[in-house]
């Protein structure tokens, strides 16, 4: 691989190598149906998946479906999600989103990006996660803090805005691999290419990274 190979050349190799490193990479949130993944992903904003998984069992026991959450006010949801941060806004969005699900979708979670983005508290990240993992629809690349950081370090994008990073990544790999690229970058960001102290000297994909100290 040439020292300064472009992103289009390196992206498929990065995707393949990360697949070898994390063959079981999958969504880290615990969920059993689209409603649960939608709510869990909304809660994951500015919060770890580990923390979300700690609070959702009690939350879903009390509110097992969209109809149950739509029937209460936000303050009834707040105690269940308080430890996830920004809990008042999250509770408000969950209730409002569930009311729209009940009113316009019969309580079901829609299967299109356009419809999901009309739900309060749902942006492209949440919508992409739900579509990919629940319905097998690759409508975009999920760009969280890990994907954003690694995209820049690996030279896959020079942007800082999540939407423009997403557009860059969508151009580099086939649509069928959009969510696969995202989840593998997330796993590598957690395990090796961390925010504060990346383990560059131990990185198995160092030769594909223009940010590596040895470059």
- If one counts the domains in the chain, the total is 2
- Res. 1: pLDDT tops 70: no
- Res. 3: pLDDT tops 70: no
> Are 82 and 157 contained in the same domain?
no
68 in a structural domain: yes
- Res. 4: pLDDT tops 60: no
For residue 129, the domain's CATH number is 1.10.340.30
Cα–Cα distance for residue pair 72/19, rounded to 1 Å: 43
Residue pair 113/100 in contact (Cβ under 8 Å)? The answer is no
> Are 116 and 54 contained in the same domain?
yes
Look up 125 and say whether it is catalytic. yes
* Contacts (Cβ under 8 Å, ≥6 apart) of 63: 69, 72, 77, 80
User: pLDDT-derived band of residue 37, with 50, 70 and 90 as boundaries?
Assistant: very high
Domain boundary among 86, 102, 135: 135
pLDDT digits (tens, 9 = 90+) for 106-149: 999 999 999 999 999 999 999 999 999 999 999 999 999 999 99
1 in a structural domain: no
Provide the 10 A C-beta neighbour count for residue 80: 21
Domain boundary among 135, 151, 172: 135
Cα–Cα distance for residue pair 141/179, rounded to 1 Å: 6
Q: Is 152 left (phi over 0), alpha (psi -120 to 50) or beta?
A: alpha
Residue 67, domain extent: 34-135
> Are 124 and 156 contained in the same domain?
no
Residue whose tokens read 């941060």? 85
The single-letter DSSP state of residue 47 is S
The single-letter DSSP state of residue 107 is T
Catalytic residue among 125, 161, 177, 197: 125
CA triplet 78, 82, 83: central angle to 5 degrees?
160
213 in a structural domain: no
Whole-Å CA distances, 39 to 29, 44, 114, 148, 166? 10, 9, 18, 23, 22
Q: How large is the average pLDDT for residues 9-13?
A: 95
19 in a structural domain: yes
pLDDT of residue 109: 98
> Are 100 and 13 contained in the same domain?
no
User: pLDDT-derived band of residue 215, with 50, 70 and 90 as boundaries?
Assistant: low
pLDDT digits (tens, 9 = 90+) for 155-213: 999 999 999 999 999 999 999 999 999 999 999 999 999 999 999 999 999 999 999 88
Look up 82 and say whether it is catalytic. no
Cα–Cα distance for residue pair 161/211, rounded to 1 Å: 19
- Res. 2: pLDDT tops 90: no
* Contacts (Cβ under 8 Å, ≥6 apart) of 39: 56, 59, 60, 69, 94
Catalytic residue among 30, 65, 92, 144: 144
> Are 71 and 125 contained in the same domain?
yes
> Are 91 and 164 contained in the same domain?
no
pLDDT digits (tens, 9 = 90+) for 63-111: 999 999 999 999 999 999 999 999 999 999 999 999 999 999 999 999 9
Predicted TM-score (pTM) of this structure: 0.93
Cα–Cα distance for residue pair 196/107, rounded to 1 Å: 42
Domain boundary among 135, 165, 187: 135
pLDDT of residue 212: 86
Q: How large is the average pLDDT for residues 37-45?
A: 97
* Contacts (Cβ under 8 Å, ≥6 apart) of 122: 38, 42, 93, 97, 116
> Are 155 and 110 contained in the same domain?
no
52 in a structural domain: yes
> Are 48 and 118 contained in the same domain?
yes
* Contacts (Cβ under 8 Å, ≥6 apart) of 57: 30
For the chain, the residue count is 215
pLDDT of residue 213: 85
> Are 38 and 130 contained in the same domain?
yes
For residue 184, the domain's CATH number is 1.10.1670.10
> Are 38 and 128 contained in the same domain?
yes
49 in a structural domain: yes
């Amino acid at each position: 691989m040439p020292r300064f190979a472009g992103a289009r050349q390196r992206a498929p190799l990065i995707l393949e190598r990360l697949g070898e490193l994390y063959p079981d990479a999958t969504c880290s949130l615990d969920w059993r149906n689209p409603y649960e993944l939608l709510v869990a992903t909304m809660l994951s904003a500015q919060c770890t998946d580990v923390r979300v998984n700690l609070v959702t069992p009690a939350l879903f026991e009390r509110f097992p479906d969209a109809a149950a959450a739509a029937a209460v006010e936000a303050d009834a949801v707040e105690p269940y999600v308080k430890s996830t941060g920004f809990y008042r806004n999250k509770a408000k969005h969950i209730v409002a989103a569930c009311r729209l699900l009940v009113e316009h979708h019969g309580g079901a979670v829609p299967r299109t990006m356009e419809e999901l983005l009309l739900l309060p508290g749902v942006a492209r990240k949440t919508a992409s996660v739900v579509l990919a993992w629940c319905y097998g629809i690759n409508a975009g690349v999920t760009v969280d803090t890990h994907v954003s950081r690694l995209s820049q370090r690996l030279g896959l994008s020079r942007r800082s805005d999540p939407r423009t990073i997403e557009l860059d990544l969508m151009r580099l790999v086939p649509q069928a691999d959009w969510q696969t690229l995202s989840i593998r970058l997330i796993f590598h960001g957690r395990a090796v290419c961390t925010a504060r102290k990346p383990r560059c000297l131990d990185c198995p994909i160092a030769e594909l990274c223009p940010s590596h100290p040895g470059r």
